[in-house]
Amino acid sequence: MSVVRSTPLRPVQSLGRWGVESLEAMGRFALFLGEAVVWTFIPPLKVSQFYRRVHFIGVRSLSVILLTGAFTGMVLGLQTFLTLSRFGSEALLGPAVALSLVREMGPVFTALMVTGRTGSALTAEIGIMRITEQIDAIQVMGLNPMRYLIVPILLAGVATFPLLTAIFDVVGILGGYLVGVQIMGLSSGTYFGEMRTFVSLDDITTGLWKSFAFGVVVTWACSYKGYYTAQGTVGVSRATTEAVVLSSVLILVWDYFMGSVLP
């Protein structure tokens, strides 16, 4: 540590340390998921904890999903209508709105909204369990915190995200309908009929895969940050902020990645 003393080399040293520390953190982050996945397949599953987390993620996020879904659909309906009408192809409003929602905006916005609404709360809850030694208490009882705490959260993420995304999509499409049909005067048959022609099963499965993946990403990032919270209330507030940032960045990066791989 004290080998480098001269000033010119100090930036190099701190860069090196930063590199090593980042690599270490990434390794720990990856191992955390690995361990959780292994414990997922070792019975018994803590069913009551799983239900509790489904409730925690699903029910708490529902209102915000309904609200943002509706407005996203309406904005999308308006903007797309205005664009399409320049080419005289307003008839394609339905599929345009539906495709944007199903492939892209539904999964991404749902994941971002859940991160803000419940991901942060999840981090805070686990972080407080960490600093009040509740996680240590589970461990010294000879039990595994992964099984009791983390696995139910990950599984609840996988179970709820596709459903929340589907709700977001449906509400969004209805929002687009409201603007396109009720306000702009497109016919209802055109809106839904063209949708049936242009939206394929591939689009729906793409959205579904994305939402599964985001369910893992969000719960993984948020529970990881809570699990490794530093001591003190400052530790919890920092962990919460970092969880939201990490989760949001991962959602967007992973969305691009999946978008270029999936059909």
Partner 1 sequence: MIEVIDLCKSFNGQPVLKGLTLSIAAGELLVIIGRSGGGKSVLLKHLIGLFRPDSGQVLINGVDLPGLRGRALDDLRTKFGVVFQGNALFDSVSVFDNVAFPLREKTRLPPDVIHARVEERLEQVGLAGAGHKFPAELSGGMRKRVAIARALVTEPEIVFLDEPTTGLDPILCTTIHHLIRDLHRKLHFTAVMASHEIPDIFEIAHRVAMLHDGVIVEAASPEIIQASANPVVRQFIQGETEGPIQVT
Residues engaged in binding partner 1 (CB under 8 A)? 132-134, 136-137, 139-144
Of 153, 146, 75, 150, which Cα lies nearest the Cα of 114? 153
Of 218, 176, 20, which Cα lies nearest the Cα of 92? 176
First to last CA, the chain: 50
What's the CA angle centered on 164, arms 161 and 165, to 5 degrees? 80
Question: Closest separation between CB of residue 2 and partner 1, Å?
Answer: 11
Nearest to partner 1 of 59, 137 (CB atom): 137
Distance CA(176)–CA(93), nearest Å, equals 8
Question: Closest separation between CB of residue 76 and partner 1, Å?
Answer: 39
Burial of 121 (0-12, 13-18, 19+ CB in 10 A): middle
What b/e sequence results for 136-150 when a residue is b if at least 16 CB atoms lie within 10 Å of its CB, and e otherwise?
eebeeeeeebbbbbb
Nearest to partner 1 of 140, 261 (CB atom): 140
Distance CA(195)–CA(98), nearest Å, equals 7
Distance CA(130)–CA(235), nearest Å, equals 10
Question: Closest separation between CB of residue 143 and partner 1, Å?
Answer: 6
Nearest to partner 1 of 231, 260 (CB atom): 231
Q: At 45, phi and psi to the nearest 5? A: -85, 140
Nearest to partner 1 of 51, 256 (CB atom): 51
Between the alpha carbon of residue 3 and those of residues 11, 13, 64, the distances in Å are: 14, 10, 54
Question: Closest separation between CB of residue 212 and partner 1, Å?
Answer: 27
Nearest to partner 1 of 133, 202 (CB atom): 133
Nearest to partner 1 of 24, 133 (CB atom): 133
Question: Closest separation between CB of residue 129 and partner 1, Å?
Answer: 8
Question: Closest separation between CB of residue 142 and partner 1, Å?
Answer: 4
Nearest to partner 1 of 102, 146 (CB atom): 146
Question: Closest separation between CB of residue 22 and partner 1, Å?
Answer: 19
